[in-house]
Each structure stands twice: as C-alpha cells, then as structure tokens.
C-alpha cells in the first residue's frame, strides 16, 4: 500500500472513536493552518485562514470537528501566531512588495533558529490580521480554543534563545520584553473570552512569565493555562534511564514547578 498523508475524514472515522473509547475528553490538533513544508509539522504557515489542503477540504474539517463534539470531545487547535513562513510566492511574506507589511523589517523580522519571519505586533494591520484570524477559527470551524505555539518567542525580543530564566523580574519586565506582543496577547485573550466565554486558550511559555494566566481585567496576559513543556521533556529523559536511576525528587519538582495557583497543562 502506498503511504499517504492522513485526512480529516480518516481521522474522523478511525481515530476519534479510539480517543473516545480511551476515556479522553479533549484533543489538540496540530498542522491545521496551510503550510508548504510538511516537515515543519505545520509551524511554517503560509496561509493563516486556510485549513491544510493536503488533509482534505474545509467542509471535511468541519465534519471532523462536529463528530468530535458529538462524542463529547473538546477540540483545541494548535495555532501559530508567533512567526510565519518566509515564502514569498505562496505566503504572506513580501505581500505588498515590502518586508514590513506584517513583520519587522531587517534582522528583527527574522527568526534565525526557525528560519521564518517575525510579526510586528505594534503594526495596526498585523493586529487586525491576527485577531480576525483567531475569531475566524472559532466562528467558522467551531474550535473550542487554542494552544498558542511559541509564546515565549513572541514575548521577548531575544525570543528566549540562549536564555536561562531564573525568575528574576528584570528578566521579564525590561528592555528585552516585546511590549507590543504582550498587548496583542492581552487583546486576543480578552476578545476570545468576550465572544466565546467557554473558549480555552493555552499558551506555550517556557520562561515563567508572571501574570501569564491572570485575567486581563487584573492586568494579566489572560491565558487559561500555561503549557508545561518541561514535563514532557522530563518523561523523554527518564525513559532513557534504568528505573533505579530515576530521581523522584527531581521528577516531582518538574511536575510541580509553576507559579502559585497557575493552571498548567502537561503532555504525558
């Protein structure tokens, strides 16, 4: 049998029943936004408003989400607003002939590790584009919320690269903080919860940004949960060890290392 890319319909018919029967109550679907490079796992987005055509049609995606809801599953979308594909012909890079329509111009607009373009969140058109994109997926496809990818990269001008965050507040509220990105995240969370009070927004942050999960009304960034990436990394680490080499104190610390009363989600 020739290998094929999985489809929305196949996922609906063959995978969703297994998820339901396994006792799960939510799913996070990645690589939904259109992307040219399959090896990017959907993170080099070329069209933010189009479902990935390699997996089927928009109507087939809607049918998959409807079926998941019928089974009682919450459907979260892995959304990418932290960067975009640098492609010009099939992406939004150089959309108006300049490198700064949605992005920072020059080196600030290029993520050297991801080989992609970085948004200018202080740009009015960028705000309109990304905020409308957020509402579009909730309104049109009935997603129940999002897992926002790469939020640490958004919040800091250094993108969190080669940084070892210690918890010192100067690391979070200094000249390296991208205040425009924080404002965008606050606007996005406030808008989402205003139009869709039951929506769930999860942010992938590895810096430990204070107020990350505090409501916008209290001056927080407004996420419902922080994605605790260190937990999954710890499982990968201990799987390579003999059982008797596990450091239970270190494992416990990793699973409970969060700010006081901060809601977190961790991958198993």
Is 106 domain-assigned? yes
* pLDDT for the residue 5: 83
* pLDDT for the residue 103: 99
* pLDDT for the residue 1: 73
Is 38 domain-assigned? yes
Instruction: Specify whether 242 is catalytic.
Output: no
**Residue whose tokens read 């104190």:** 249
Angle at 170 between CA 168 and CA 174, to 5 degrees: 155
Is 1 domain-assigned? no
The total number of structural domains in the chain stands at 1
Is 3 domain-assigned? no
Is 143 domain-assigned? yes
Is 2 domain-assigned? no
Please give the Cα distance from 128 to 125 (Å, whole number).
Answer: 5
* pLDDT for the residue 268: 75
* pLDDT for the residue 201: 99
Q: Write the CATH number for 198.
A: 3.20.20.80
Where are any strands of DSSP class E within 8-104? 26-29, 33-35, 45-51, 74-79
Is 119 domain-assigned? yes
Spot the catalytic one: 67, 144, 204, 205. 204
Instruction: Specify whether 149 is catalytic.
Output: yes
Range of the domain at 18: 8-265
* pLDDT for the residue 2: 80
Are the beta carbons of 35 and 42 closer than 8 angstroms?
yes
Please give the Cα distance from 41 to 149 (Å, whole number).
Answer: 12
Is 227 domain-assigned? yes
Spot the catalytic one: 149, 178, 205, 224. 149
Pairing of strands 33-35, 45-51: antiparallel
Q: List the chain residues with pLDDT less than 70.
A: none
pTM over the 0.85 mark: yes
Please give the Cα distance from 102 to 104 (Å, whole number).
Answer: 7
- pLDDT tens string 14-71: 999 999 999 999 999 999 999 999 999 999 999 999 999 999 999 999 999 999 999 9
* pLDDT for the residue 3: 82
Within 8 A by CB and 6+ apart from 86, the residues are 44, 93, 110, 115, 116, 117
- Bridge partner list, 203: 148, 226
């Amino acid at each position: 049998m020739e290998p094929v890319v999985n489809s929305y319909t196949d996922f609906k018919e063959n995978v969703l029943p297994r998820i339901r029967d396994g006792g799960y109550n939510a799913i996070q679907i990645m690589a939904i936004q259109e992307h040219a490079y399959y090896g990017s796992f959907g993170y080099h987005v070329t069209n933010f408003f189009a479902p990935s055509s390699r997996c089927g049609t928009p109507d087939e995606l809607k049918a998959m989400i409807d079926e998941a809801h019928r089974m009682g599953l919450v459907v979260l979308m892995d959304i990418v607003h932290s960067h975009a594909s640098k492609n010009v012909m099939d992406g939004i890079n150089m959309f108006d002939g300049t490198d700064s329509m949605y992005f920072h111009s020059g080196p600030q607009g290029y993520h050297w590790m991801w080989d992609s373009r970085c948004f200018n969140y202080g740009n009015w058109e960028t705000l309109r584009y990304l905020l409308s994109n957020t509402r579009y997926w909730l309104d049109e496809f009935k997603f129940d919320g999002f897992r926002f990818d790469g939020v640490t990269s958004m919040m800091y001008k250094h993108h969190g690269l080669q940084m070892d965050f210690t918890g010192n507040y100067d690391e979070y509220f200094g000249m390296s903080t991208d205040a425009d990105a924080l404002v965008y995240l606050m606007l996005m969370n406030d808008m989402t919860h205003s139009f869709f009070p039951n929506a769930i927004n999860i942010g992938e942050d590895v810096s430990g940004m204070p107020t990350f999960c505090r409501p916008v009304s209290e001056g927080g960034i407004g996420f419902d949960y922080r994605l605790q990436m260190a937990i999954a990394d710890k499982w990968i680490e201990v799987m390579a060890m003999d059982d008797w080499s596990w450091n239970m104190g270190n494992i416990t610390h990793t699973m409970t290392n969060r700010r006081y009363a901060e809601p977190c989600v961790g991958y198993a």
